[in-house]
Amino acid sequence: MTVISDAWAYLTTSSNWTGDKGMLHLLTQQLLLTVTALFIAMLVGLPIALWLGHVGRGGFLAINVSNIGRAIPTFALLALFVTADFPGTAEFGPYGRAGLATLLALALFALPPLITNSYVAVRGVPSDVKEAADGMGMTGAQKFFRVELPLALPLVMSGVRLALVQVWATATIAALVAGPGLGRVITDGFFRTNYGKGIAGAIVVGLVALALELVAAGGQRLATPTGAGGSSSKRDPKGEPGMSAAAPTVAAGADAVGAE
Amino acid sequence: MTLLAAAVGAPTSSSADGPTCYSRLTNEWICGQYVKDFRPEIQHATLEHLQITALAIVLGVLIAFPLALVARRYVRLESTVLGVATGIYTIPSLALLPLMVPFTGLSKTTVVIALALYALTILVRAILEGLRGVPDEVVESARGLGYGNTRLLLRVELPLAIPVIMAGLRVATVSTVALTTIGSLVAYGGLGNLIKDGVNSNFRAELFTASVLCVVLAVLLDVVIVTSQRVLTPWTRGGRA
């Protein structure tokens, strides 16, 4: 496989990493883009989802936003934003219109996992714990910040983790509209039949995705109170017997809070 | 089809005389004339999109099913199977397609295999969860009636697992429809080809029509799956909406 050795050669040539069009620069661009998009999505999505979960209404909305979001291709969204007039001029922001379009598309893309997971997380707090909080005379805000939020945090964090990795992976498609990021290395190599370069880019993106996943997993473990295992799957809060992997985590968290 | 009618009905602009609504000068987003003039191209792209999605889902189910059975049978393998399936999901689609080109070339096969791999993650989990959800007493009574392993799976467990499996299939299908657009990277992206061309040549009508068709296609397939689920599981009707 000459392609693989070409890729290796590209990866080990230091001039491919440094400089204005080097991979390090592109990597930083993409990381910045990913983190900003995730931050915007969290700023918008988390308060809404957590509040809906606290009030216990709007589940239909939360789940459907996620379903509709899944049906809209991010590529189409990105293409629409780039072609439209409204997101400023071509010189707007650090990466131009393509960068801003990518940021918007990615932020929208990150919303569904964030909203669904946070909503389900707050709804999944056992009702006896909530009743106990009421019985202790906690106000709505106290109940939310001292009881529901700590118990929901592990599942909320797993939504953030999911969104982070997905946004990073999806950020590469910015290259399809000549946007910033590592996707450029892939498309450049690909369109100029320099497959080694394309594959080298793909490898770097994949490795960083893996690294992000590990970092996010660590962050999630920090958010999980006392040794309750990470619950990485989102589930509906119906609590059917025999199908509850998320429930034990929340229950274990409840024990931990009770012990403190 | 309703969409086509809506798009045609929206701006019935100067049809014969003057520039069309998709000309360089006006470049409108919604343009019925475009749909009329480029119908063969749009139809071809839509059919290709549908074909790639369907093949990918079928392939995904074919791979996911034995994997789920293996994971259920051998508990030790379960975390490995689920881990690998989740690992595939973290590979960016823009990276997976080029990685496969040396092996499968610039072909439809490349896109289908890549999409099937992505669908795998959701499908394996759904099938495993569905089979797990079958109540123990039902399995025991079937065994008591003398059901063998295969018959138990096909006649008892699988039908009872259908609602959960179908829920997974819906998610997988809808995301696959959206993801197929990325296939335009190797020139087999169905409607994604139109979107890409629309961006590159600043052709708004083409871009918008293709994007809307993508969403319509996803919704239509979703409806088809929900309907077939209702037909397949008549006993759940009236249970929940």
Q: Per the structure block, which two tokens stand in for A77? A: 């969204």
Return residues 102-121 of B near A (CB < 8 Å): 102
* Radius of gyration of chain A from its Cα atoms, rounded to whole angstroms: 21
Considering Cα of B91, then B97, then B98, then B100, what sign does the dihedral take? positive
CATH fold, domain B38-233, is MetI-like fold (1.10.3720)
Q: Per the structure block, which two tokens stand in for A40? A: 């915007």
pLDDT of res. A55 = 86
Check whether A213 has a pLDDT greater than 80: yes
Query: Which among B98, B178, B207 has the least Cβ separation from residue A72?
Result: B178
pLDDT of res. B239 = 52
Return residues 26-85 of B near A (CB < 8 Å): none
Check whether A247 has a pLDDT greater than 60: no
pLDDT of res. A1 = 62
User: Binning pLDDT at 50, 70 and 90, where does residue A228 land?
Assistant: very low
The answer to whether the CB of A44 falls within 8 A of the CB of A112 is: no
Instruction: Indicate the domain borders of chain B.
Output: 38-233
The answer to whether the CB of A41 falls within 8 A of the CB of A114 is: yes
CB contact under 8 A, A170 and B208: no
Check whether A183 has a pLDDT greater than 60: yes
State the CATH number of the domain containing residue A250: 1.10.3720.10
Within 10 angstroms of residue A206's Cβ, the number of other Cβ atoms is 18
The answer to whether the CB of A113 falls within 8 A of the CB of A119 is: no
| Closest residue of chain B to A81, computed from CA coordinates | B199
The answer to whether the CB of A43 falls within 8 A of the CB of A112 is: no
pLDDT of res. B218 = 92
Domain total in chain A: 1
User: Binning pLDDT at 50, 70 and 90, where does residue A93 land?
Assistant: low
User: Binning pLDDT at 50, 70 and 90, where does residue A238 land?
Assistant: very low
pLDDT tens digit string along A117-138? 888 888 888 889 889 998 999 9
Taking the C-alpha atoms of residue A258 and residue A252, their distance in angstroms, rounded to an integer, is: 10
Taking the C-alpha atoms of residue B117 and residue B94, their distance in angstroms, rounded to an integer, is: 14
pLDDT of res. B238 = 62
* Residue span of the structural domain in which A184 resides: 2-13+20-259
The answer to whether the CB of B215 falls within 8 A of the CB of A72 is: yes
For the ranges A22-31, A85-94, A98-107, B108-117, the maximum mean pLDDT occurs at: B108-117
Q: Is A122 exposed, middle or buried (0-12, 13-18, 19+ CB in 10 A)?
A: buried
The answer to whether the CB of B118 falls within 8 A of the CB of B92 is: no
Query: Which among B98, B179, B202 has the least Cβ separation from residue A199?
Result: B98
Backbone torsion region of residue A120, taken as left when φ is above 0, otherwise alpha when ψ lies between -120 and 50, otherwise beta: alpha
* Radius of gyration of chain B from its Cα atoms, rounded to whole angstroms: 22
| Closest residue of chain A to B131, computed from CA coordinates | A243
Check whether A207 has a pLDDT greater than 80: yes
User: Binning pLDDT at 50, 70 and 90, where does residue A26 land?
Assistant: confident
Residue with tokens 């065994």: B143
Identify which of B118, B14, B138, B147 has the alpha carbon closest to the alpha carbon of residue B56. Answer: B118
Mean pLDDT by 10 residues, chain B (241 residues): 43 51 76 83 92 96 92 86 80 80 85 92 90 91 91 91 90 91 87 88 86 92 90 73 45
Chain A residues in contact with B213 by the CB 8 A cut-off are none
